[in-house]
Amino acid sequence: MTGRAEAGSTDSPAPTGGHFLSGSDAVIRLGKIARFVIAPSAMLLLLWHAIPAQAGLTFYTLGSDFSANVTTTQLETFEASNVAPNSYAVISGPLDSTSNNAAFAPGSIQTGISFASFGGDPNTSLVAIGHGTAPGGTSAIGTYSFSNGIEITLANSNAIGLNLFASAGPGSVANAVFQIGVFGASGLLGSDTVTTTGVDTFFGVDAGTTAITKIDITQLSGVSTFVDNVAFGAGTPTPPVTNPTSDQAAFLAANPGLSIETFEESRVPDHTFFLIPSPLNTNSINAAFLPGDLLPGVNFASIGPDSNNQLVALGTDVIPGATKGIGVSAQDNSFEMTFDQLQNAVGFNILLSTQPGVVSSDFVDIAIYGASGLLETDRVSVSGLNTFFGITEAAGISRIVLTDENGINLFVDNVSFNAPPPTPPVPSSVPEPASFVTLAMGVAGFAAVRATRRTKV
């Protein structure tokens, strides 16, 4: 099924024990909450409590610790959902790679994993939410019925990590206490209790050499259960990634011989910016770059739910004091760098801006990937013009994804990496400048459509 799900779309009857967008007086109009009463919940202690588990299970409360010690081969972010920001769709369960519904087309969900609502309520529908439906959150799925939990079935995995949160309806995030059971072929392997606050409480478990067949997540707080950023797969230990650094001089001194992409070959005039197609690499032909202008071996792209995946090529001083750089046009999208060869060291400057002439400050999540999948996620405080992030990894870095949480455009400059020798560009005709509808100036901004940003692991 194609197209975006309409706000609040559902074909399901109301569950028997309360449901997403129920409360006692829930009314929704075009995805906006007119009145909403969250179901009462018990006073919660902000702590984790581990219930004794079978030997061989290791539980994690921090995504960074999980990523540093466990290798997972797949990551389900639900970003292939058709659900628009600040909207939701009620869909039939279970949800897997073959599902075809208002939120997901076949192939939109990773293979080897399935999500289902289970419990005392016979209505086993799921809820797919868009960015911002849960404040600060991104696309995610959860239970429609307050009485049911989420069961995640795994085909071939020894470890799983995810973000967990609770919500009574659009516009709300509730504190809740969850009981999580971890199962293998022989039955229950162990369990853990998790208290969630916000949309990014992390839960992870590694079973070593034992296969995890499913995990069951339940709660008694009278709200819907949601999951996001589900990492799963082999679960074999991985060498920890070297701690990232913010010291650019020290990073370059420790990694001599790196090439630096400064984007200074850009043809964008000062105080101007161009919108250009994504992805961007050394072979690109557009208003800002010609073949050979960029170093080989790296690709830049805008990725995410917004169909406007153009990049922005900045001229000098579009943002006062900043040199040339590139970033995302759609504020709902992430900035991706992929490398043709595995990199042992990558560094770059990060800049945030909502419109020309403005320097913004915020936290940026940086996901580091290797050949086997996600290695780690770091959160960086970005302010001013020269926030630097550098990371080294002996096993190799294949991809880096930068995500801002709050609808601010991301830009990078001075990307340091090990570039291969350049090859002569293939001769090609250069489009006339008039053929590019790319030049835009003023506070109309970098995005044709502004969108609320997400939170992600």
- The DSSP secondary structure of 361-412, one letter per residue, reads -EEEEEEEEETTEEEEEEEEEE-SS-EEEEEEEEEEEEEEEEEESSS-EEEE
- The answer to the question of residue 12 being in a domain is no
**φ and ψ of 130, to 5 deg:** -90, 180
Give average pLDDT by consecutive 10-residue segment, the chain, 457 residues. 43 54 34 26 29 65 86 89 94 94 93 93 92 93 93 93 93 92 92 90 91 93 91 62 76 94 96 95 96 96 88 93 93 93 96 91 91 87 90 93 87 95 58 36 40 35
Q: Judge if 267 and 220 occupy the same domain.
A: no
- The answer to the question of residue 454 being in a domain is no
Q: Give the tokens for residue 141.
A: 């799925």
The predicted pLDDT at position 17 comes to 57
Q: Judge if 139 and 255 occupy the same domain.
A: no
- The DSSP secondary structure of 284-328, one letter per residue, reads --SSS--TTSS-TTEEEEEESS-S---EEEEPTTSSTT--SEEEE
Place of tokens 């040199």: 323
Q: Judge if 331 and 418 occupy the same domain.
A: yes
Q: Judge if 187 and 334 occupy the same domain.
A: no
Q: Judge if 222 and 325 occupy the same domain.
A: no
Place of tokens 């835009």: 440
- The answer to the question of residue 355 being in a domain is yes
What is the spatial distance between Cα 143 and Cα 118, in angstroms, rounded to a whole number?
Answer: 9
Q: Judge if 79 and 136 occupy the same domain.
A: yes
Residue 21 CB-half CA count within 13 A: 28
Contacts of 307 (CB under 8 A, 6+ apart): none
What is the spatial distance between Cα 452 and Cα 198, in angstroms, rounded to a whole number?
Answer: 17
The predicted pLDDT at position 35 comes to 21
What is the spatial distance between Cα 87 and Cα 32, in angstroms, rounded to a whole number?
Answer: 8
Q: Judge if 253 and 363 occupy the same domain.
A: yes
**In what helix (H) or strand (E) does residue 63 lie, and over which residues does it extend?**
helix 63-69
Using alpha carbons, list the distances in angstroms from residue 367 to 137, 341, 385.
17, 18, 21
- The answer to the question of residue 32 being in a domain is yes
- The answer to the question of residue 108 being in a domain is yes
Domain count for the chain: 2
Using alpha carbons, list the distances in angstroms from residue 69 to 106, 345, 412, 437.
32, 20, 29, 47
Q: Measured between alpha carbons, how far apart are the two ends of the chain, in Å?
A: 28
- The answer to the question of residue 452 being in a domain is no
Q: Judge if 124 and 71 occupy the same domain.
A: yes
Q: Judge if 45 and 192 occupy the same domain.
A: yes
The predicted pLDDT at position 8 comes to 56
What's the CATH code of the domain at 299?
2.60.120
Closest alpha carbon to 380 in 407, 409, 350: 350
**Residue 372, domain extent:** 248-440
Using alpha carbons, list the distances in angstroms from residue 12 to 63, 89, 287.
35, 10, 49
206, 233, 260: which is the final residue of a domain? 233
**In what helix (H) or strand (E) does residue 362 lie, and over which residues does it extend?**
strand 362-370
- The answer to the question of residue 95 being in a domain is yes
- The answer to the question of residue 455 being in a domain is no
202, 233, 264: which is the final residue of a domain? 233
Closest alpha carbon to 141 in 71, 79, 52, 191: 79
**φ and ψ of 253, to 5 deg:** -70, -35
Q: Judge if 127 and 228 occupy the same domain.
A: yes
Contacts of 437 (CB under 8 A, 6+ apart): none
Q: Judge if 212 and 122 occupy the same domain.
A: yes
The predicted pLDDT at position 406 comes to 80
Q: Judge if 35 and 144 occupy the same domain.
A: yes
Q: Give the tokens for residue 56.
A: 């061989």
pTM higher than 0.85 for the full model? no
Please answer whether residues 109 and 103 qualify as being in contact, where contact means their C-beta atoms are separated by less than 8 angstroms: no
